[in-house]
Each structure stands twice: as structure tokens, then as C-alpha cells.
Amino acid sequence: MAEKFIKIQVLYDILQLEGYILIGSLLAIAWLFYKFFLKEVSDERHKSIRNHFRLLLRHFVILSFLFVLFIFMQSSEAQLGSLNRFTPYVAVMTFIWANIVFVKTARLMVLQYLFLGSMKHGVPLLLVNIFSLIMSIALLFWGINRIFGLELGPLLATSAAASVILGLALQDTLGNLFAGISLQLDRNFEIGDWLEITSGIQKATGQVKEISWRSTTLIGFSDEVITFSNRFMANAQISNFSPPDNPILRRQIFRLAYGSNIEHAKQILEKIVAGIGEVRGIPAPWAYVSDTNENWVELKIIYFIDHYSAQYSIGDKVYTRGIAELTSAGIKLARQVVEVSTKNSPDVTNQL
């Protein structure tokens, strides 16, 4: 029965020891690459890669069992008698499992290669999934053509109408898919970057958590999950606050009462901010008079930080320490004065 559907000799020629050794060698190369080149990845990445290896090892054990069983049945056909009719089916199972292990190993190697460029935060799975899908489809078509003898060219040609209908039905999904690919090829942001997304009146800020087939997921300051479609991301204005070797500028404002020693206040603020560990020493913090009015003199302190997510905790330290040091130095912070006049006594004023 199997001879009617399967090119048995072609299948047996494919299932040689060399192919099994090749798959095992690829798995060993992936493991050595991980051990020697990915030592500095984050703990989360280590856990993820090891889970991949554990799953892949289980698949390889199953492949080894099927391959040994196939070799035994092929070499013992005379002794097996009527059982040898199952040999082609075992061969097909071995071929399928070999393709599964091969695709998963290649996928893991691509994933590890991408990890080289992002040791701490990880990489989006979108490109890895697309690579796996393309390789799986290619192996599927090749296997159907070689083993089952089916010509897929005429079949694909006659399915043009169905492809058009399917394309229209999946228009939004395909749009998000290609938008996601475009975002990854442009590399305007990566997983772990802090972004500000602006489109019209919509604005959101968060850290990139994942880029999938359909959407990009951010985690906000309050750990809220923010999800945008990839098409929306491709058309939105994106501000990236996590570029490498490019510090983030932040500023705080202090309003001093008239008569205060402005130069001394500048020195105090610059010294306080320079003493905060999360603030960059170069460029150094810089204080200057940014505004004056009838109520106060406004000092602005400018400084640079590396981590966008730490801006609020750093700002709290700047205000807390700055107010304490200015007060202990005898420099008064300004209070806004409001003059209130009554209708009956225009010459009477109250100050708040």
C-alpha cells in the first residue's frame, strides 16, 4: 500500500547516517555558541535559552529512537516478515521528525545570533518566527515533491483566486505583519527601549516588551500593559529615550525669594545633583537663572541620566536634597503673593 503513495527508495536514500550526524552537529554547534558567546546575557535570557535546549534535546532523543528503529527494520526486513510493511511508515515519521528538529535547531541558532546584539533585554520573536515559517514551508514543499511525487506548481497556479480571497480576508493581519517586519528592519527601537508614541491626540510612554506578528507591547511606568498594532506604530511619531551612548537630559526648577544669594544657590544645586549616583558626571550638572517676575527668581538645574525609567526617582532626590540644602544655607524659597482688594475699601490689601 505504501508504494502507491510514497517513493520508498527516494525516502530511504534521504534517511542516511550523514543527515542524522548533520542535525546532531548543528545542535552541538548551537550549544557551543551559547556557552562561549552568550555568557553575559541576562538571567531571563539564560532561562529562555536553556528551556529551548531542553525542548530541543527531547525532540532529538525522539528522532534518535525513530532513526535507530528505521535502520533496524530496514536491515532486518527478511527476519521481520509481514512486519516489514511498516518500515516505510516509520521512515516517514523519521523524516518528519528530522525536519522538526532541523527547523528548531536553525531557529535557535538565529535566536542566539540576535541575542549577541541585545545581551540584556532580549530580541523580538517576530523575525525568528518568520524565519521558522519560511524554512518549514520550504521543507514541506520539498518533502511533498520528493517523497510523495506531487507537483505543486500547477496546484499553486490554480489556487490564485483562493489566494486573492485569502489576501483580502487577511488584509489587516498582513498589514500588521509587514509593518512589524519594517519596524524591525529599520531598527528604530529594540526590546527594552523606552518610547514615547504620539499619533494625533494619542500619546503613550512605555518600555518595549515584545513585538509580535500583529502588535507591539509596551509596559508603562505603573506596569500597565499598552498594546499598539504594528500598522499604528509604523505611522506614529516615535521618540526613543534609550539610544546607546546618548544620555537623557532632565531639568528641575527652584524658585527663590528676592534677595537670595543666587550664585551660592547655583553652586549648592550643582553640587547636590553631581552627588547623585544616577546622574552623569559628564556633561556636568548646570544651574542658571531661567526666569524672574514680581514674586521670585527662577533657577533651573539641568543634568543628564542614562536610564529613562529612573527619571522620577532621580527627580525626587534632586528636589528633596536641593530644598534641604538651600534651607540649611539660609536661602529662602519663594512664596507666591496674591493681592486682594475689596470694593468698599480699595486701599486695603491682603497678602496671601
Query: pLDDT confidence of 295, banded at 50, 70, 90?
Result: confident
- Alpha-carbon Rg for the chain, nearest whole angstrom, is 33
CA distance 306 to 47: 27
Alpha carbons 49 and 110: distance in angstroms, whole number: 12
Q: Kindly state the average pLDDT of the residues 71-89.
A: 76
Question: Model confidence at 99, in pLDDT bands (50, 70, 90)?
Answer: very high
Q: How far is the C-alpha of 310 from the C-alpha of 243, rounded, in Å?
A: 15
Going from N- to C-terminal start, the domains of the chain cover 2-158, 183-240, 248-328
Domain 183-240 shares a fold with domain 248-328 = no
pLDDT at residue 344, as a whole number? 57
> Thinking of the domain 183-240, which architecture would CATH place it in?
Roll (2.30)
Would you state the pLDDT for residue 30? 92
Give the fold, CATH level 3, of 248-328.
Answer: Alpha-Beta Plaits (3.30.70)
pLDDT at 352: 45
Cβ-Cβ contacts under 8 Å for 237 (sequence gap 6 or more): 197, 198, 199
**Which of these ranges, 32-36, 113-117, 220-224, 285-289, has the smallest mean pLDDT?**
113-117
Bin 259: left if φ > 0, else alpha if -120 < ψ < 50, else beta.
Answer: left
Q: What percent of the chain has pLDDT over 90?
A: 25
Residue 118: pLDDT band (50, 70, 90) is low
Q: Cell for 52? A: 529551548
Cβ count near 94 (within 10 Å): 25
Report, as an integer, the average pLDDT of 335-346: 62
Cis amide leading into 244 (omega within 30):
no
State phi, psi for 220 to the nearest 5 degrees. Answer: -80, 180
Alpha-carbon torsion, ordered 236, 237, 242, 245, to 10 deg: 130
State how far the Cα of 253 lies from the Cα of 289, in Å rounded to an integer: 10
Q: What is the pLDDT of residue 203?
A: 86
Model pTM? 0.60
Query: DSSP letter at 284?
Result: P
Residue 101, Cβ density class (10 Å: 0-12 exposed, 13-18 middle, ≥19 buried)? buried
Express each pLDDT in 158-209 by its tens digit: 555 555 555 555 556 667 777 777 777 777 788 888 898 998 888 888 888 8
| CA dihedral (167, 169, 175, 176) positive or negative | negative
